Structure 1
Amino acid sequence: MTVHTDVLIVGASAAGLATAEAVRRSGFDDRITMIAAELQAPYDRPPLSKQVLSGAWDRHRTRLRPADFIVSLDLDLTLGETALSLDVASRTVQTDRRTIAADHVVIATGAYPRGLPYQPQLRGLHMFRSIDDAMALRADLLEADRLVVVGDGVLGAEIAATARGMGADVTVVGPQTGLMESQLGSAVAAILTELHAAQGVRTRLGAQVVGFTEADRRVTGVRLAAGDTLPADVVVVAIGAVPATDWLSGSGLHVDDGVVCDRWCRAADGIHAAGDVARIRDAPTGSTYRRENRTNATEQGIAVAADILGVATPPTPIPYFWSDQFGTKIQVDGSIRRDAEMSVLDGDPAAGRFVASFQCDGVVTGILGWNMPKQSRRHRGRIGIAVSDVEEGVATGLGRRHHVRQ
């Protein structure tokens, strides 16, 4: 038997919830169905590697909205229901419980952690994506001394900082020359790596992991291509995420490291994707991008709702993410390439407080704030502006500027 709904949201994620909220705010009172494979009510992921892992928050504090607010949205919400397939022509989703047909289908299934191709199943060897993952890693860290983090990106750096704050002996291993280099550029990555070192975190950067050692089916170390082994009581692999699109095989949608969509997040007639699972195609250039951050998920969910309601304009969001490590707040608007030229606009890196701009081919592509959140927001409007125009603004008092080569 097939049940029918007006809007079907597959995934109780930040993007899925943002879609439902925005549709309801418009006065839409038809049926909205939301299903999710997880058993948790919609929750926020950024706190998992920080407040939840450290124990500052319990799992309930991560909920995106209070239970009574979720009830007020009047959703047909079912947790623990897994989508198995999608028929694009009929906009029908087959789950492990039923068949659901909809006027509009919103794919908000997020992503799952990327593993190493040779990664075994061992006690003490963790992946990190869900609230259950965070709780399991915390439980192990409370009984362990040595942690090795495989991965030098945002998640790896945040886990390392949190675990070190819990008293663990921490080593981070990864292929880059500095922590979060692909997100921060080489100059700021060096500053972040120095911050970690000052707090006692060891790094093996520019290194390749080739395997693990074990005893009685528990991890005991991480083997490197250089030939040595990093001893460990606990290991967490944090090397990125894979869009949750397996269930869309054979659907007819264009799937390429995410569901490929247009600027309005449209994947097909009556079908949208939002959040970590969505890959957006830029019409003028033909290039595509997929962004894994909380702000992007919310903005795309709102854009999807507007398109469903027929009031959409092409969203033009500026990428944004933040990270808190060892009491340092890092904020990035736009994007920072490794080869970008960095200019300090405010503050001083030596003092631990600064705002910097990053430019490529004469245009500002990103703004980074290091312990200067208000000032960073003030400079956000420079993104997309030619450097010559920025310099004119600086001359009129918008901020001082000196160059730092990456």
Structure 2
Amino acid sequence: MVQLSDGEAVPYDTLVIATGVEARQLPAAEGIGGVSTLRDYQDALKLRGALVDGNHLLVVGAGFIGLEVAATAISKGCVVDVVEPAPSALMGKFPAELAERIHDTHVDRGVRFHFGQVVDQWHVENGEITSVTLSQGQTLRADAALVGIGTIPAVGWLEGAGLELANGVVCDHVGRAAEDVYAVGDVSNWHHPRLGENRRIEHRLSAGEQAQVVASVLTGDAVPALDPPFFWTDQYDEKWQAYGYIHADAEVEIVLDDPEANRLVATLKRGGKLDAVIGKNAAKHLIPFRRELRAAETQTIEQ
């Protein structure tokens, strides 16, 4: 059974955990007007209201959320500063060679990056942010700020419940966390047979596909193979798409580079095996690689 916050006990035959994630916060910035994260509709409305021509936007975090917001803000006429403690954008999330291209596009559009730094002081007037001072002493005007420093799986309510919790709810390859207990979506840490390990995948399509797998298990239908992870990011006039498993030690080969069409395709391999493909404005060109990756995933599960 599950006990609710008002004390009511709700019995179940099968439990599916789909509580998602919470935005990681910066304690020093909590409660300051004009500083927000981006997790829900109200956050989006609040941020949109700050993207006004001439406003200065501070973005903390050079991940995908931070860079997408930076691109949108630049298109609205904002002055954008991105503060990132790592030495480069998208570190650990994207191959360095490709992340550098994304970074260069932002610089060409006017985004100012401050790598290897954190916000040391938040300056406030009448409860609203006005500026920040960085760890190397530079002060930046900030009419608004977005904190995009990742997420935390929403598993606090499961402490002591007997489930294995490690970067989310640990599951097998069909989402089973314990007898009659399953988890799907951002909160779940599924086992991926082709990797031979567990990984928490925070992509919208993966959440839907995991739900289909669990639904098939519960209804006794044929269980579909979980598709390799797929996500995309839209920044300016560039749509980057990634399919498969991205590893830091992968060998990156650019198999198509067409500057005039602003198009690129890169493969990621380890030990000669294709692990992922990444494209920029190249959806059709990714199709054969996606077929190869999907076939390899299905074959692994069947074995």
Q: Which residue in 1 is equivalent to 2:300?
A: none
2:130 to 215, 220, 226: 220
Please say which of residues 97-106 and 283-292 is displaced more in the overlay.
283-292
Q: Distance in 1 between the 2:195 and 2:235 partners?
A: 36
Query: Does the 8 A contact of 1:170 with 1:202 survive in 2?
Result: yes
Q: Distance in 2 between the 1:358 and 1:350 partners?
A: 24
Q: Distance in 1 between the 2:143 and 2:225 partners?
A: 46
1:217/1:143 CA distance change after superposition, 3 Å? farther
- The AA in structure 2 aligned to 1:291 is I
Matched, 1:268 2:178: yes
1:331 to 197, 217, 241: 241
1:311 to 221, 239, 258: 221
Query: Does the 8 A contact of 1:364 with 1:384 survive in 2?
Result: no
Q: Which residue in 2 is equivalent to 1:187?
A: 97
Q: Which residue in 1 is equivalent to 2:299?
A: none
Q: Which residue in 1 is equivalent to 2:9?
A: 99
Q: How big is each residue's C-alpha offset from its partner over 1:327-374, in whole Å with a ceiling of 9 and x where there is no partner? A: 211000113334432212234357520111012233222100101111
Q: Distance in 1 between the 2:194 and 2:280 partners?
A: 33
- The AA in structure 2 aligned to 1:323 is T
Deviation for aligned residue 1:116:
2.2
Q: Distance in 2 between the 1:212 and 1:349 partners?
A: 41
Matched, 1:290 2:290: no
Query: Does the 8 A contact of 2:29 with 2:35 survive in 1?
Result: no
Deviation for aligned residue 1:382:
4.1
Q: Which residue in 1 is equivalent to 2:285?
A: 375
Q: Which residue in 2 is equivalent to 1:345?
A: 255
Query: Does the 8 A contact of 2:227 with 2:294 survive in 1?
Result: no
Query: Does the 8 A contact of 2:53 with 2:78 survive in 1?
Result: no
Please say which of residues 269-278 and 305-314 is displaced more in the overlay.
305-314
Deviation for aligned residue 1:255:
1.5
Query: Does the 8 A contact of 1:367 with 1:380 survive in 2?
Result: yes
Q: Distance in 2 between the 1:150 and 1:280 partners?
A: 29
Q: Distance in 1 between the 2:249 and 2:193 partners?
A: 25
Gaps of 5+ in 1: 1-90, 387-406
1:284/1:355 CA distance change after superposition, 3 Å? closer
The correspondence of residues 65-76 of structure 1 with structure 2, limited to 5 A, is none
1:159/1:351 CA distance change after superposition, 3 Å? same
1:176/1:366 CA distance change after superposition, 3 Å? farther
Deviation for aligned residue 1:113:
0.3
TM-score (norm 2): 0.89
1:256 to 157, 166, 172: 166
CA RMSD of superposed structures (Å): 2.4
Q: How big is each residue's C-alpha offset from its partner over 1:182-207, in whole Å with a ceiling of 9 and x where there is no partner? A: 22211111111111112121111232
TM-score (norm 1): 0.67
Q: Which residue in 2 is equivalent to 1:73?
A: none
Q: Which residue in 2 is equivalent to 1:168?
A: 78
- The AA in structure 1 aligned to 2:142 is A
Q: How big is each residue's C-alpha offset from its partner over 1:214-233, in whole Å with a ceiling of 9 and x where there is no partner? A: 22221122332222222211
Q: Distance in 1 between the 2:195 and 2:255 partners?
A: 30
Q: Which residue in 1 is equivalent to 2:36?
A: 126
Query: Does the 8 A contact of 2:253 with 2:267 survive in 1?
Result: yes
Q: Which residue in 2 is equivalent to 1:55?
A: none
Q: Distance in 1 between the 2:29 and 2:271 partners?
A: 41
Q: Which residue in 2 is equivalent to 1:49?
A: none
Matched, 1:138 2:48: yes
Query: Does the 8 A contact of 1:263 with 1:315 survive in 2?
Result: no
Deviation for aligned residue 1:151:
0.7
Give the share of equivalent positions with the same residue, in percent.
36
Please say which of residues 136-145 and 287-296 is displaced more in the overlay.
136-145
Q: Partner of 1:102: helix, strand, or coil?
A: coil
Q: Distance in 1 between the 2:62 and 2:14 partners?
A: 39
Query: Does the 8 A contact of 2:62 with 2:83 survive in 1?
Result: yes
Deviation for aligned residue 1:157:
0.7
Q: Which residue in 2 is equivalent to 1:201?
A: 111
Greater C-alpha Rg? 1
Q: Partner of 2:161: helix, strand, or coil?
A: coil
Please say which of residues 107-116 and 355-364 is displaced more in the overlay.
355-364
Deviation for aligned residue 1:308:
0.9
